[in-house]
Amino acid sequence: MPPPDRTDGTSDSPAAMLAELVQCLHAESDALVAGDANGLAQVVERKENALRRLAPQLGRAGQAWLRAAVRGVRDLNDHNARLLSAHMNMTRARLDALLGAAGTGALYSPDGRAAGADGRNAQRGVRA
């Protein structure tokens, strides 16, 4: 890898920019698997910056190695999209369950007892 030629410690070479992007995608995958929302937000910002820097280089890229590397990056990104989709589906199912329970009146009163749809305590099987 060529020595850094920017003040932020990164290099302007396509290989270095691509390596930075791959590292970001692996970090994004780790954050998705760990459910680390804060880490995910940070790595997404780094990934976007890496993509902005790399995009102009790709227009000039005629090297076969770079095209192959970009395919590998696309595969990593597709993997992360599948991870994100799974999290979104799970979250959607949980929200649907919560919202569905709220619509059926299966709620609890402030004292922890099951409450009917009208808000009164529903004590099944208990007689006064």
Q: Closest Cα partner for 32 from 98, 74, 78, 71?
A: 78
Q: Which two tokens stand for residue 108?
A: 């609890």
Q: Which pLDDT does position 104 carry in this prediction?
A: 61
69-111: per-residue pLDDT in tens?
Answer: 888 999 999 999 999 998 889 888 988 888 876 666 556 667 7
24-59: per-residue pLDDT in tens?
Answer: 999 999 999 998 999 999 999 999 999 898 888 777
Residue 121, beta-bridge partner list: 115
Q: Which pLDDT does position 57 carry in this prediction?
A: 78
Report the helix count and the strand count for the chain, using DSSP H and E: 3, 2
Q: Which DSSP helix (H) or strand (E) runs through 43? A: helix 37-59
Q: Which pLDDT does position 106 carry in this prediction?
A: 55
Q: Closest Cα partner for 12 from 42, 53, 49?
A: 53
Q: Say whether pLDDT at 5 is over 50.
A: no
Distances (CA, A) of 53 to 33, 35, 36, 46: 27, 28, 26, 11
> In degrees rounded to 5, what are phi and psi of residue 17?
-65, -40
Question: Which of 8-12, 119-123, 124-128 has maximum average pLDDT?
Answer: 8-12
Rounded CA gap, 4 and 10, in Å? 5
pTM value > 0.75: no
> In degrees rounded to 5, what are phi and psi of residue 115?
-110, 145
Q: Say whether pLDDT at 7 is over 50.
A: no
